[in-house]
Structure 1
Amino acid sequence: MSKYKIAHLREQGQNMIIIPLDDNFEYKTDNEQFEIVDSLQVYARSAGLAGTVVPVWLHGRQMKFIAPRPWHPFFKSLTWNDVLRNLNKELTCG
């Protein structure tokens, strides 16, 4: 069973479930990344969390993310510390 500290917030009229992941997420294939995101989305829904899962991770000093294109400006404006400051829930998977 995995547990993730998450930031569940509403921004720009959208519910977002921001999940910081280990930097090794960078080295997964696109298929593996999307399978992980899909799985996290299923767990978030079954936990009663409204919104879209957005994984974030550090690659060097850069924060990377997978988010809907309209949200890219918002996520590009965030720092890793912004994400950590907004962690407000825990998601249990498995």
Structure 2
Amino acid sequence: MASQTYEVAHIREQGQDMIIVPVSSRVQSMSSQQQNELNQSLQYYANDAGLFGEVCLVWEYGNRFYFLAPRPWHPFFKNMDMRFVASNINRKLTCMS
């Protein structure tokens, strides 16, 4: 069985539990459907691991910061960068396939 481990930032912001998952820049070349499927898969593993909250994917492509998060959270994520994410890493999420 193969597994992949992600280092995640599990934070509470604006009264919301967020599971921020840094992913590879390859996500940039995925279709929206593929990005959403990855997000849903990680949400399943996060819930299974007892992490409460909404999974949000973040990645860098070129010199830009991208995210996949619920629309009401976009203003918060637009002010974020990978340094913020890295400084808030506090959990590991292992996904078995």
Smaller-chain TM-score bracket: over 0.9
Question: How far apart are 1:61 and its partner, in Å?
Answer: 1.0
Where does structure 1 differ by over 6 angstroms across 4 or more consecutive aligned residues?
Answer: none
1:74 matched residue in structure 2: 76
Distance 2:71 2:48 in 1: 25
What is the rounded CA distance, in whole Å, between the counterparts of 1:27 and 1:14 in structure 2?
Answer: 29
- TM (norm. structure 2) is 0.95
- Tell me how many residue pairs correspond in the alignment: 94
Q: CA deviation at 1:79?
A: 1.3
Which of 16, 36, 39 is the aligned partner of 1:37? 39
Partners of 1:62 and 1:11 in 2: CA distance: 23
Select which of 7, 10, 17 maps to 2:12: 10
Q: Secondary structure at the match of 2:69?
A: coil
Verify: 1:26 aligned to 2:59, yes or no: no
SS in 2 for 1:24: helix
Q: Is residue 48 of structure 1 aligned with residue 50 of structure 2?
A: yes
The percent of aligned pairs where both chains have the same amino acid is: 47
Which segments of 5 or more consecutive residues in structure 2 lack a partner in the other structure?
Answer: none
- Once residues 69 and 28 of structure 1 are traced to their aligned partners in structure 2, the CA distance between those partners, rounded to angstroms, is 20
CA distance, structure 2, for counterparts of residue 36 and residue 79 of structure 1: 21
Q: CA deviation at 1:28?
A: 0.7
Q: TM-score, normalised by structure 1?
A: 0.98
Structure 1: which 5+ runs fail to align? Answer: none
Q: Which amino acid aligns with 2:56?
A: V
State the secondary structure of the residue aligned to 2:77.
Answer: helix
Tell me, in whole angstroms, the C-alpha distance in 2 between the residues paired with 1:82 and 1:13: 18
Segment drifting more, 14-23 vs 57-66: 57-66
Alpha-carbon shift at residue 29 of structure 1 (Å)? 1.0
